[in-house]
Chain A
Amino acid sequence: MNTVRTLLAPRFWPISREGILKSRTGSRFKRLFLGLIGLVFWLGVFGISWRVLVYFKGIEEIGDILGFKLLSMLLIVSFALLLFSGILASLSKLYLSRDLPLVHAMPVPAYKIFFSRWIDSTIDSSWMVSLFTVPVFLAYGIVYQAGPFYYVTFLQCLFALIVIASAISTMGVVIGVMLIPASRMKSVFVLLGVMSFVGIYLAIRLLRPEQLVDPEIFDTVMVYVASLESPSSPILPSTWAYDAIRAALTGAALESCFHSAIAWSFAATCLFAALILADRVYFKGYSKAQTAPQRLLRKAAVNESLFAFLPGRLKAYTIKEIKTFLRDQTQWSQLFLLAALVIIYIYNFSVLPLDKSPIRTIYLQNLFAFLNMGLALFVLTAVSARFAYPAVSQEKNAFWVVKVSPIGLTTFLWIKFWVYYPPLLILTEILIVATNLLLQVTPFMMGLSTLTVFLLVPGIVSMGIGLGAAFPDFKAENPAQTVTSFGGLIFMILCTALIALVVVVEAGPVYRLFLASLHDRPLSAGEWAWIVVSFAAVFVISLAAIFLPMRYGVRQLEQLTS
């Protein structure tokens, strides 16, 4: 264990040396700010969870059943997320980290290197899921007035789930690396992306959330209640955790201990199996992974003549960006995940039983359309965070080429903007049109939402490029690392604020228009003025969102690199 501790030291020594707050003023402020934002989100999750559970508790007969169904859903989704992030983290830590040649040159057994990396990747892959599920569990404890035993139970069950997910995903990676030919090693990412897509899709569909809002699927209330009570698969670790936590909530301590023991014995077995496997094959797999990567697509995936109409510099960067993106198979797993999220997003709209809603009106449909606009733009924000925000940082050590070339930083950033803007615009417009069609919105709402999206997409992309330039990380090993930073958080917050602002500004006039249409009355002059001013404000906000971040990004990048 001393060796494992030493191998982990480079991760923890800088933290213990600097301390959380003891550092330069600028980074201290950033950490405080990040901590504050995290706390706000944490409290928000707790508040919403508590509110929902209190509401469920107030429903007679089936309130507790609904509460436990929600708990089950939470655990299944958390486990799926842990598995997915465990796959990506372990692949990176075990086979792609830049310090691996240094560590493998040391007189340390391979399984100890594996174990230290496994601990590292487990922490990386699970901290966010853990942090933001804890307030939900706390809310359960408070609403159900659980004793101390419950709090110990949920913590250790969560920990067991983390260990199981990480061990299983790591074993999958180790086996995958051995099975796939060395020259196709990075095809592992493609495989993992597809597996993640399938896994997340199955997790979401297993929940069948549409049943919660469509009681008429069931013949009787009792059948409906029974379906809510029906357990998840008994071989899933999330089921054992659910059984243990539920028993602890209801005071059945012995039963809870039994299910916890099952979970922990499986966790120990998985970890043991992973260590044995690692001792046998980890170093062989690592050696295999060191071959020069072969291209997955040997034929040219980009027909350069398609871009002949572009000006020279834009054409050069466009072709470069597309080629490097297509050849960077580490990006593909993100692409698969995003495709999964987009498809699930649209699919969930298709199964919503809107026609069975007791208060179905045009008003309700179009309210959903309005909210959907915000959601679609939030999906765009998440996509931009993965692709547009890291765009400048992905130049990495090759940024010197930009500095010595005869293009200014302003042109460089605008070129980046024009590379990412068209595909993201197409994606978001498809999303909004498809979901609006499923929601059966009025032509006015269709027009409004597509136009609003058209105005905001360039702003969000511009904020991604601009803020990514203001907070670059040329040493990041992959794009995901870039966005999980102070700058990435600022980007997400500002985009959310922009979307919320536009939705709020448009909400009033749109509501007035609906009421006027509903009551078949003309709008007053004052109302017209309000509508015009509001939409003009949206236009001005959109323009500001396009130009201000780019100017800021150029200024910051110039200061940083001069």
Chain B
Amino acid sequence: MKPVPFNPGDPSEGRRADGPGLPAEAGWSFDDVYNRYFPFVWRCLRGLGIPTIGLDDAAQDVFLVVHRQLGGFRGESSPQTWLYGIARHVASNHQRRERRKQAPLEPLVAEPAHPDPGPHERAEDAEAAAFVESFLAGLDPKKRDLFILAVLEEMTIPEVATTLAIPVNTAYTRLRAVRADFERALGRHKS
């Protein structure tokens, strides 16, 4: 097995993991992918409905698959496309397992959302996150995927269309619809 180096990366780097794709021929290492795309994978898993308590497991599963399949990734799609496909599959598996459990695990500790902002900011962030989470939970999977990629991760529509294997025009139409849904839901929230 090719050893996986453990160089400490900067996990907080870059809100979005956009930029050039992984040039397979350039031999991107697991660490490169991990350092660059960990935040993307983490947020996608949240958006796909993985609760905080399950994020570690799910992220670990994603990167185990990444480690296994990195050699076969040829850069024909964008890295986000590839990673999102893995994350979606992992999230689906985790949710299936959770549904089978009699007594789901409760979160152990409610950790602060982010170390930088103050308490008020953190509370507002957490409230916004809870609202978006509930909004996503009410969407059908097609709209949810599109919302996560296009709205939250700000990927371009052609990229999103490729990721979801839908025509670009369909992606635009769904995006308009889901944005309108979001604004309506936001208007109802706290009203």
A binds B: no
Q: Which residues of A contact B (CB under 8 A)?
A: none
